[in-house]
Structure 1
Amino acid sequence: MAKVNYNLTYNERVVEAAKEYLARKERKVHPEGYFDNGGRWFPSENEKLICCSNIRRPSVSWPYSLMKHCRTMGHVAGLFGVLKKDVMRYLNKGILPEVEEGYYYKLVAVIDNKYFSIFDGKTQYEIGKTLIEEVKPDFEGGFYVYKTIKEAQNAVFPSTSKLLKATRAILKVKCCGNYCKYENGKIAFSEITPVEVVCKEVSNE
């Protein structure tokens, strides 16, 4: 099992994910898991990711279905909190993704002229106040932002989000620290500081 150091930068984790994938492919290292009494292999809790739920459950006929999955590039990339396409690009061309610390945009809810997380309804964003949260893969940590105003405006939230129907605004935020990249332009940074309101009312339809 790979021991992932989330204090590494995103690009450093891409490199580590590439090394881990090749090592698993060549059977130099193995996914962390166990065999049951029927000889079927299952991943450990540390190894298990959301992607594993889409794989055929191990059976007598297919005892290694999850083991094979845990050797794939997509699964290994998920363990390191990076995108498969970034690992593939690095392996094929030696090119690392371009993500820099700097200014990004975040869609938030507006309640009594204050700005809150649409998802949890509790986290408050104040101009000039820095927020810090450890970044983890599978959407389990960090602050989610986008590179452009348009991407932020089109951000999609789970139906269970606390302030899904609230009036919205877009904040320009300064981002730094560790980060995870996701599809559709979403990036989670470990540290953000709101600097200004760029759009005061954004449609939530």
Structure 2
Amino acid sequence: MNQSRPKAKRSRALGIALTPKCTRYFERRPFPPGQHGRRRRTESDYQQRLLEKQRLRAQYNIREAQLKRAFAEAARRDGKTGDNLVSLLERRLDAFVMRAGFARTIYQARQQVVHRHFLVNGRRVDKPSYRLKAGDVVEVAPRSRTKPPFQLAAAGAWAAEKTPGYVSARLPELIARLEDLPRRSDIPVICDEQLVVEFYSR
């Protein structure tokens, strides 16, 4: 999804670092961008819910329509709607590629998927929104394995300090498996999903 606004400014506006590179900018200026960014603002309930929704969207790099569809499906399922929503988003192929350590950011993961670098259960998939099921195996296509980004990934350059429990990755072989459906407590996303539910339920 194309965004005209620089990621560092978006990170400061949302209050979270969207990429590792943005972290140092955010730490240096941990306040919203703009002339009045340093001022303390009293946010309304609506603004707080809107901010959480925007944070969730930004961390998965999805459009508003995609988030709405995911929310509608989460609301139909048993259990807490917020937990269901984050779990559904986490099962997107681009999100899994990033969690497995094949890509440094969600933006790079999306580009790699669109460029047809991945196989799911032996079949090539080029849709970032493709939803994985427990037991699905994702691997880098044989012809793509020699490309520099995947050589770095195989060396563990982008592996998280703690891989979520639902992801089993063998980076030297560039292969990963979704072991189980993601649980909210294991998903490393900064968001109060209950506020997102309240935003869409208003």
Normalising by the smaller structure, the TM-score range is: under 0.3
More helix, by proportion? 2
Structure-2-length-normalised TM-score: 0.27
Structure-1-length-normalised TM-score: 0.26
- Which structure has the bigger radius of gyration? 1
